[in-house]
Amino acid sequence: TQPPDVAASAAADTASSPFLRACRREPVPHTPVWFMRQAGRSLPEYRKAREGTAMLESCMRPDLVAEITLQPVRRHKVDAAIYFSDIVVPLKAIGVDVDIKPGVGPVVEKPIRSRADLERLRPLEPEDVSYVTEAVGILTRELGSTPLIGFAGAPFTLASYLVEGGPSKNHERTKALMYGDPELWAELLDRLADITAAFLKVQIEAGAAAVQLFDSWVGALAPEDYRRSVLPASAKVFGAVAGYGVPRIHFGVGTGELLPLMGEAGADVVGADWRVPVDEAARRVGPGKAIQGNLDPAVLFAPREAVERQAARILEAARGLEGHIFNLGHGVLPDTDPQALTDLVAYVHECSR
């Protein structure tokens, strides 16, 4: 761990960064930009660094985590780094039999479906993830004035992997539990909220300047179900880290109808995918919150001029907003040309100056 004076000066350095200013809805010299999944398979230097190391194993090696987190910052000049990890890392850390299968995603050997299964979800202690503390320490020193975003999976999205046993299109077993045994469901989400909050705290205490809670698959729910069965757990996570004063970002895919509730859960910044224009997203979320988004990641496969037209459209829609962070509407697709991302960062900076 770093001495407090170093941590304090790093914090002072990042505080006036465009990214954190936009999160606080303050004026910015240019629109800040970063990309979900900016560290990863689109980069040749990532594939090289990862060679011969399994995904979850690489998440536990602080030197490798730091290197992979820094790669997109060096290459694309993005305004923020996102900590290289995965949403299932805290589950692995408490002993859940989860692995990340190449080309598939997280797979859970024995899914969680009964009350007895809940016992496998014990609380997360900081010592379970000491490699995270170490890696964040390295990163805050290396990043200088570029803020580091910590992250975690939200209770619903984590529950989906745990209950289904892997990636799922329809989340049928998850919904069967949610509708069929609301009490067990609430207990499951409550445990996951505590694990998630503890994991975010570790990252913030080690120096993360902001956190993003990914509820990637919650767009599968109707608003009433979200309010009753998900919001209390997500609100618990946001409430648990409110005292740190770091911006809290909340994002999910296909969440147009849920945006007001996701703000209500306690986010300072709400992420939108490409299906809702950013000005409309801001209207739905209401005053007092910044908006993040929302270029369709598939647009990056079009010629440069087309990418710029779509980016300009987003910047134009965001013109009147208090607080806009440019991002994609979901993660970078693996086959994206890295140069398209570098060009997009330069274009957003140039266009919004």
The DSSP output letter for 332 is P
Closest approach, Cβ 34 to ligand 1CP, in A, equals 9
Active site residue 86: yes
Active site residue 347: no
Stretch that binds ligand 1CP, among 31-39, 131-139, 254-262, 311-319 (CB under 6 A): 31-39
Kindly report the three-state secondary structure assignment for every residue of 43-62: CHHHHHHHCCCCHHHHHCCH
Class of residue 104 by CB neighbours under 10 A (exposed 0-12, middle 13-18, buried 19+) = exposed
Given the residues 21, 25, 46, 50, the one annotated as active site: 50
Joined tokens for residue 199:
């994991």
Check binding of 155 to ligand 1CP (CB under 6 A).
Answer: no
- Residue from 324, 317, 320 nearest 293 by CA: 324
Residue closer to ligand 1CP (CB basis): 82 or 341: 82
| 216 known member of a binding site | yes
Given the residues 86, 194, 268, 273, the one annotated as active site: 86
Residues within window 236-295 making contact with ligand 1CP, judged by CB under 6 A:
none
Given the residues 161, 194, 268, 284, the one annotated as active site: 161
Active site residue 161: yes
Check binding of 102 to ligand 1CP (CB under 6 A).
Answer: yes
> Closest CB to ligand 1CP belongs to which residue?
105
Closest approach, Cβ 23 to ligand 1CP, in A, equals 17
**For 57, phi and psi rounded to 5 degrees?**
-65, -40
Q: With CB under 6 A as the rule, give the number of residues binding ligand 1CP.
A: 22
Q: What is the DSSP string of 252-281?
A: -TT-GGGHHHHHHTT-SEEE--TTS-HHHH
Stretch that binds ligand 1CP, among 102-110, 181-189, 237-245, 288-296 (CB under 6 A): 102-110
In single-letter form, the type of residue at position 208 comes to A
As a whole number of angstroms, the distance between CA 203 and CA 138 comes to 12
As a whole number of angstroms, the distance between CA 271 and CA 253 comes to 9
Residues that bind ligand 1CP (CB under 6 A): 36-41, 55, 82, 84-87, 100, 102, 105-106, 151, 157, 167, 214, 216, 331
Positions marked active-site = 37, 41, 50, 86, 161
